[in-house]
């Protein structure tokens, strides 16, 4: 049996097999030649001290011990072309992993996706970045792979209790992800790598008898006596099945509106909202690693920060080292920001959402919208941001319609309009404004105080080298679609399984994928 040991080594040692073996041999009082294999089980960075270290958990095999490389394989899927159909609405991680699980369970998934396939989406992303044209069905939020595909591909989750994280990571590796995601404390695939993995998942679904329909937006759920009968698409087509996994993502406002119009039970849910802050990556490296230059053996530094301000949590969200800020609107007449990083995280800037937790009471001015009050609150800020950045409600397709309101960080804390905004990674461009004009007064006050507090904890963080872009508003769904805690079936509609981020039960790729699998398991159990 291998011996498991914990090490804390320099970045250079962690990156060099020979140096690592030498370190292990000293720790174990063994000759280096006696060490046959070293398998890294877990890896993380410890930057709490002035000298940055790498924490490793390794399995050490000495000569003579049996060693076999663990090859990760896909499950043995069987053809389900003639099996009972289950509709899956949405081809994000919840929908795709639900579909794979359904095939494992002998059921035929029909995945219905409003957007385009993962390659076709690229043209629409180019259009929103270059021409400021928002395709309401194909954008950073909608399309094959969901919002995570072109907004970073981070795989870290704190939701260990929700399900088997390792299973999801191993499935991703089997579909082509770097095996390092099984080892790293904060695994990440990268926006440039994830599309091929998503495409391979789709082809596997089709290979074993499932269907994947693109450019197919669901406009109605067909019911009889509060039981699912199928769905109606925007083209007037009916897809029949009595089990429906609804995994539409956090931005499918038309789906929330449709459910509400049909008196299908939904409820408002608190979420978080704020800005996206961009710093030079070199500055974040200096702050986090306490050095002038991080060197060749450390990755671009991330950061995570949380403060309590006026009784509210204000925290970093979806931090992207070596990344860029992207326009994530899903309709004309609004601006929305998000961030992403390529797999190498090699861009010159670092960005993070900096958001404030909201409460249901904050939505009282929108009470007339009932359970959609949070969504209306969210929409009002996105539309105000679009307008103050130069958008005209008389011409939703105006050429400045995806410019984002921006302000230097110190200027924001002082309520001072920045004289100029330096070029940032946000391609459609920025408009210098006082961001307090975008947010309600209580939110502006918290953000201003919070950034001041951040600067006290991270020396150098509060700087006019940083530019704030607003808003960061799609952190999670503004509604929850209630379901039974055991069966996961909707409390009112038989055969409807609310799923993933859009239904309020996940917060990222991994937790959404886990929830997709759980819903598929419950569908299969109900059909027995």
Predicted confidence (pLDDT) per residue in 396-410, tens digit: 555 468 999 999 999
Bridge partner list, 280: 349
Q: Which residue has the tokens 């007449």?
A: 333
- The CATH number of 3-62 is 3.30.70.2700
Give percent helix, percent strand, percent coil of the chain, each to the nearest 5: 30, 25, 45
pLDDT, mean over the chain: 94
| Domain locations in the chain as residue ranges | 3-62, 85-267+478-527, 272-367+377-472
DSSP character string of 209-248: T-EEE-S--EEEEEEETTEEEEEEETTS-EEE-S-EEE--
CB proximity list for 265: less than 8 A, separation 6 or greater: 481, 482, 490, 491, 492
What mean pLDDT do residues 477-505 have?
97
Confidence of residue 160 (pLDDT cuts 50, 70, 90): low
d(C-alpha 281, C-alpha 345), whole Å: 10
Report domain 85-267+478-527's class: alpha beta
pTM of the predicted model as reported, rounded to 2 decimal places: 0.94
The answer to whether residues 271 and 477 touch, using CB atoms and an 8 Å cutoff, is yes
Compute φ and ψ for 31, nearest 5 degrees: -75, 140
Assess contact for 98 and 519: CB atoms under 8 A: yes
Q: What is the pLDDT of residues 167-193, one digit of tens each?
A: 999 999 999 999 999 999 888 887 788
Q: How many CB atoms lie within 10 A of CB 371?
A: 19
44-84 confidence digits (pLDDT tens): 999 988 889 999 999 999 998 888 888 899 999 999 999 99
* pLDDT of 69: 84
**What's the chain's Rg over C-alpha atoms?**
24
Q: Assess whether pLDDT exceeds 90 at residue 385.
A: yes
How far apart CA 101 and CA 205 sit, in angstroms, is 10
The Cα–Cα gap between 493 and 98 comes to 19
Mind listing the pLDDT tens digit for each residue in 440-474? Answer: 999 999 999 999 999 999 999 999 999 999 999 99
Strands 85-89 and 244-246: parallel
Confidence (pLDDT) at 159: 55
pLDDT tens readout for residues 319-352: 999 999 999 999 999 999 999 988 888 999 999 9
435/469 Cα distance (integer angstroms): 9
């Amino acid at each position: 049996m291998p011996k498991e040991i914990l090490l804390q080594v320099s970045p250079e040692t962690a990156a060099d097999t020979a140096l690592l073996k030498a370190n292990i041999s000293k720790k174990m009082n063994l000759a280096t030649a006696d060490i046959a294999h070293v398998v890294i089980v877990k890896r993380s960075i410890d930057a709490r001290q002035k000298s940055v270290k790498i924490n490793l958990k390794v399995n050490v095999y000495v000569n003579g011990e049996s060693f076999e490389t663990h090859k990760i394989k896909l499950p043995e899927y069987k053809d389900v072309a003639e099996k009972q159909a289950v509709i899956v609405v949405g081809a994000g991680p919840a929908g795709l992993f639900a579909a794979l699980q359904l095939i494992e369970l002998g059921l035929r998934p029909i995945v219905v996706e409003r957007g385009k396939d993962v390659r076709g989406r690229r043209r629409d992303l180019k259009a929103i970045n270059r021409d400021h044209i928002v395709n309401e069905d194909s954008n950073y939020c909608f399309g094959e792979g969901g919002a995570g595909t072109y907004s970073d591909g981070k795989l870290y989750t704190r939701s260990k209790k929700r399900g088997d994280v390792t299973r999801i990571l191993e499935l991703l590796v089997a579909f082509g992800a770097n095996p390092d995601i099984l080892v790293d404390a904060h695994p990440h695939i990268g926006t440039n790598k994830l599309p091929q993995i998503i495409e391979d998942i789709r082809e596997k679904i089709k290979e074993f008898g499932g269907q994947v329909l693109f450019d197919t937006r669901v406009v109605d759920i067909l019911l009889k006596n509060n039981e699912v009968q199928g769905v109606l698409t925007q083209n007037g087509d009916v897809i029949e099945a009595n089990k429906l996994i609804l995994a539409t993502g956090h931005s499918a406002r038309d789906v929330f509106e449709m459910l509400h119009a049909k008196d299908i039970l939904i409820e408002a849910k608190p979420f978080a909202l704020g800005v996206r802050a961009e710093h030079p990556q070199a500055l974040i490296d200096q702050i986090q690693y306490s050095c002038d230059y991080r060197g060749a053996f450390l990755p671009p530094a991330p950061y995570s920060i949380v403060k309590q301000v006026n009784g509210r949590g204000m925290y970093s969200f979806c931090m992207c080292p070596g990344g860029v800020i992207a326009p994530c609107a899903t309709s004309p007449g609004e601006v929305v920001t998000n961030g992403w990083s390529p797999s190498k995280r090699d861009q010159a800037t670092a960005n993070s959402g900096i958001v404030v937790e909201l409460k249901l009471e904050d939505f009282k001015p929108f009470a007339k919208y009932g359970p959609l009050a949070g969504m209306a609150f969210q929409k009002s800020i996105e539309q105000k941001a679009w307008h103050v950045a130069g958008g005209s409600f008389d011409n939703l397709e105006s050429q400045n319609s995806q410019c984002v309101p921006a302000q230097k960080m110190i200027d924001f804390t002082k309520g001072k309009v920045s004289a100029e905004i330096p070029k940032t990674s946000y391609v459609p461009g920025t408009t210098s404004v006082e961001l307090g004009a975008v947010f309600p007064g209580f939110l502006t006050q918290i953000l201003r105080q919070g950034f001041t507090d951040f600067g006290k904890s991270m020396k150098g963080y509060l700087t006019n080298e940083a530019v704030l872009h607003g808003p960061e508003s799609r952190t999670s769904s503004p509604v929850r679609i209630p379901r039974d805690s055991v069966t996961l079936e909707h409390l009112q509609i038989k055969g409807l399984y609310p799923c993933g981020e859009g239904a309020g039960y996940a917060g990222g790729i991994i937790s959404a994928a886990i929830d997709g699998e759980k819903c598929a398991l419950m569908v299969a159990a109900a059909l027995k």
